[in-house]
Amino acid sequence: MTPSGGIGRVRRVTTSTASDPALDVLHRVFGYDAFRGEQAAIIDTVVRGGDALVLMPTGGGKSLCYQIPALVREGTGVVVSPLIALMQDQVDALAALGVRAAFLNSTLTFEARRAVERALVDGELDLLYLAPEALRSPATRDLLDRARIALFAIDEAHCVSQWGHDFRPDYLELSMLHQRWPGVPRIALTATATAATREEIAQRLDLAEARHFVSSFDRPNITYRIVPKDRPEKQLLELLRTEHGHLPGQSGDAGIVYCLSRASVEKTAATLVDNGIDALPYHAGLPASVRAANQSRFLREDGLVMVATIAFGMGIDKPDVRFVAHLDLPKSVEGYYQETGRAGRDGLPSTAWLAYGLADVVQQRRLIETSDGDAAHRRNLAMHLNAMLALCETVECRRTQLLAYFGQSLTEPCGNCDTCLSPPQAWDGTVAAQKVLSTVLRLARERGQSFGVGQVVDILLGRDTEKVRRFRHQELTVYGVGTDLAEPEWRAVVRQLLAQGLLTVEGVHGTLVLTEASGEVLAGRREVRMRLEPARPAVAARTRKAAPAADLAPADVPLFEALRAWRAGEAKAQGKPAYIVFGDATLRAIATARPADLAALALVSGVGETKLDRYGEAVLAVVAEP
């Protein structure tokens, strides 16, 4: 069932024994030494025919949890995935390991479909990928009846959650898998993980008997940074240039930049291109062919920057995405964590960077206020936004707060987020808050007016503008009471009041209005702590070399680069993404170990039998080059 042709030549020196077929597959097919975290227990459960619900962060190693049982058990593992556009790459990656995989979806020709169906029925497939909608068709169900099924894997299982951000109605039908094929084990996997989502998945997918495996959601290799938004495109350019190697005449790290709207995607991508950076746009408004082409280039070429709405990214398992930048505020912590989780799946140092400012809060609050749906829906949206804002405004370790959101804890601050690297000060912003709130109050009480943040700040600063004179705001008692702070500081105060729910916005113009909690601050019954931005944002990461060469001994860097160049040629010749040949982590390990023969190369993590056979000599030749 696993590949055999010619791979007996070099025996991997490992502890693998025939008595543990799962470990044997891990060694021989994938070339890895040991299971990570809960993988062994999950695989054991499914191999024995039990159901499993797996919550693991992106990059945690979910795929092996169903791929290995599919190889160990009799029959074909059927993987349900919403990501049609990625099935070809997933199948290619498996084929590169010598695994017999195929997919069935609407992109296949009639002939190709027939061939896959025949292979399935003849028991010649280890894995078959299907879109959820395919299972609605009686023909597909009959086809599966004629095959021997090893397991059902339901990938991106959070798509079944109606409150979630990726809801797919077709997922609701998947509970029928259990009814129609009661003897086949099911494994549902997701990287989205609040307790509520987990319960919803278990219930809707009819997984009452499933064992739950909840991994730590920590992604220690990702540095989390949330910076005050000032001039976002300039800030982004600086990030790409100083930390990710996008310098003139040089190719930098691959990364994703998320923007809220299609227009800002287009604009940002154009700005990056104007500045000599290889950037591509991706959003739902582009023709499908352009989207597919851009996605394919991003996966295949090194060092491209994808500027996208959140329409891009689910299931993108490009392991060497070195940064994820958000130019707009995500709507929820779950969304933020999923998106940032696309960085650094290979475990190498990576950056999650978010620029966040007052306008984001106003915009998001306004979007919620004007959104369709009932009050409960709006409350739900507001709850998600508030958690996201709390993360942005925290003076504590970001990672601690992120993990707490998923019900997990760290024993100490992480040391790898901006607040740990350069701790912000907290200050007593009660008086400043009172000044803002009483300005809003006076405008409402004395004048029956409401204004946006610009006018409120002008009043506090005692500015003599046309609008101030027109509304005679210089006659308000609060006029000019705020000259102790500068405009950006006042905007930060307003932002934090909005974030803390001590102020809110209304209407299409986003005018400021008081909340119930404002009264307590005005009455002096409630203290307001605020975040003082560090004068210079976290710089520790800046001194690092551009990843992925980071942390390599300087003497090994040239060999690593030579291996990357060899890989790029190989990938190009095959028309496949580079990581399908070998991941960065494996190339780094080769550069460090400098294997002299095939036996030594076989010991490197990520070098399985098929790849050893196919690339072994070529890699040794690169290593041996003077």
At position 95, the amino acid (one-letter code) is A
Among 77, 583, 595, 616, the residue binding ligand ADP under the rule CB under 6 A is 583
**Number of Cβ atoms within 10 Å of the Cβ of 276:** 14
Residue 461: count of CB within 10 angstroms of its CB: 18
Q: Which of 35, 217, 312, 560 binds ligand ADP (CB under 6 A)?
A: 35
Query: 413: buried, middle or exposed (CB in 10 Å: 19+, 13-18, 0-12)?
Result: middle
Q: Which residues, 325 to 364, sit near ligand ADP by CB under 6 A?
A: 345-346
For residue 461, the minimal CB distance to ligand ADP (Å) is 49
Of 67 and 416, CB closest to Zn ion: 416
In the list ligand ADP, Zn ion, none, the entry touching 50 (Cβ below 5 to 8 angstroms by class) is none
Contact with ligand ADP (CB under 6 A) among 3, 21, 61, 482 = 61
Using CB under 6 A as the binding rule, the residues of this chain from 592 to 621 that contact ligand ADP are: 605
Binding mask 526-565 for ligand ADP (x = CB under 6 A): ----------------------------------------
Our finding on whether 186 is near ligand ADP (CB under 6 A) is: no
The correct pick among 51, 89, 133, 317 for binding ligand ADP (CB under 6 A) is 317
Q: Which is nearer to ligand ADP, 63 or 401 (CB)?
A: 63
For residue 429, CA distances in Å to 36, 259, 362 come to 46, 31, 20
Angstrom distance (rounded) from CA 185 to CA 489 = 57
Which one among 29, 174, 279, 397 touches Zn ion, defined by CB under 5 A? 397
Residue 254: other Cβ atoms inside 10 A: 24
How remote is the C-alpha of 30 from its chain's centroid?
Answer: 24
Classify residue 272 as left (phi > 0), alpha (psi -120 to 50) or beta: alpha
> Could you give the CA distance from residue 444 to residue 489 in angstroms, rounded to a whole number?
23
Only segment of 31-39, 109-117, 215-223, 611-619 that touches ligand ADP (CB under 6 A): 31-39
346 binds, among ligand ADP, Zn ion, none (CB under 5 to 8 A by kind): ligand ADP
User: Contact 211/51 with Cβ under 8 angstroms?
Assistant: yes
Q: Answer for the pair 261, 359: CB distance below 8 angstroms, yes or no.
A: no
**Is residue 527 within 8 Å of residue 559, measured between CB atoms?**
no
In this complex, which beta carbon is closest to Zn ion, that of residue 306 or of residue 414?
414
Which is nearer to Zn ion, 307 or 417 (by Cβ)?
Answer: 417
Q: Which is nearer to ligand ADP, 343 or 499 (CB)?
A: 343
- Measured between alpha carbons, how far is residue 403 from residues 141, 215, 407, 410 in Å? 40, 11, 6, 8
Stretch that binds Zn ion, among 302-310, 392-400, 581-589, 618-626 (CB under 5 A): 392-400
Residue numbers 420-439 binding Zn ion by CB under 5 A:
420
Region near ligand ADP per CB under 6 A, out of 52-60, 363-371, 437-445, 543-551: 52-60
User: How far is it, in rounded angstroms, from Cα 383 to Cα 479?
Assistant: 34
Helix then strand then coil, in percent of the chain rounded to 5, is 45, 15, 40
Instruction: Enter the tokens of residue 461.
Output: 């600063």
Rg (Cα) of the chain, in Å, rounded? Answer: 27
Going by their DSSP bridges, the two strands 127-130 and 149-154 should be labelled as unpaired
In the complex, minimum distance from the CB of residue 227 to Zn ion, in angstroms, rounded to a whole number: 15
| Minimum CB–partner distance for residue 367 and ligand ADP (Å) | 30
Judged by CB under 5 A, does residue 538 bind Zn ion?
Answer: no
x/- letters, 273..312, toward ligand ADP (CB under 6 A): ----------------------------------------
CA dist 466 → 386, 449, 463 (Å)? 36, 17, 10
Can residue 32 be called a binding residue for ligand ADP (CB under 6 A)? yes
Q: Which is nearer to ligand ADP, 32 or 451 (CB)?
A: 32
Taking CB under 6 A as the criterion, the residue among 28, 62, 158, 331 binding ligand ADP is 62
Judged by CB under 6 A, does residue 64 bind ligand ADP?
A: yes
49 token code pair: 């025919």
48: burial class by Cβ within 10 Å (0-12, 13-18, 19+)?
exposed
Q: How many CB atoms lie within 10 A of CB 119?
A: 16
Total residues belonging to the chain:
626
Choose from ligand ADP, Zn ion, none: what does 51 bind? Cβ within 5-8 Å by kind: none
Q: Which of 45, 58, 197, 500 binds ligand ADP (CB under 6 A)?
A: 58
Phi, psi (deg, nearest 5) at residue 53: -115, 115
Task: Give the binding site for ligand ADP (CB under 6 A).
Answer: 32, 35-36, 39, 56, 58-64, 317, 319, 345-346, 583, 605
Task: Give the binding site for Zn ion (CB under 5 A).
Answer: 397, 399, 413-414, 417, 420
